[in-house]
Amino acid sequence: MFKSIKISIFAVALFFMTMGRSLGSDCAAGGVGAESCTFRSQVTILGVGLWAVKGPSVSCGEGFYACCNATSANCVENPSIAP
């Protein structure tokens, strides 16, 4: 009984640690030069995929790049290059 509870707590902690890395301001998927992106994350323990999460996605037009994270997907204006 206690062993299964410990394993469950461990799995949930790993999930939140994985998601936490994707919640920052940097793009977890996409980035400069990307026309589209979809956030995906999979929790794996000892080489076994436990569950996968598919988050938001976006497609962007000219002058913008796609940036996806666990909670958002945005089109960001491409940085301008000064002459």
The CA angle 68-73-74, to the nearest 5 degrees, is 105
Query: Strand, helix or coil at 44?
Result: strand
Distances (CA, A) of 26 to 18, 46, 73, 76: 14, 28, 11, 12
Summarised one tens digit per residue, pLDDT across range 38-79 is 998 888 888 888 888 888 999 999 999 999 998 999 999 998
Summarised one tens digit per residue, pLDDT across range 19-35 is 444 444 589 999 999 99
pLDDT band per the 50, 70, 90 thresholds, residue 3 = low
What's the pTM value of the predicted model, to 2 decimals?
0.59
First to last CA, the chain: 67
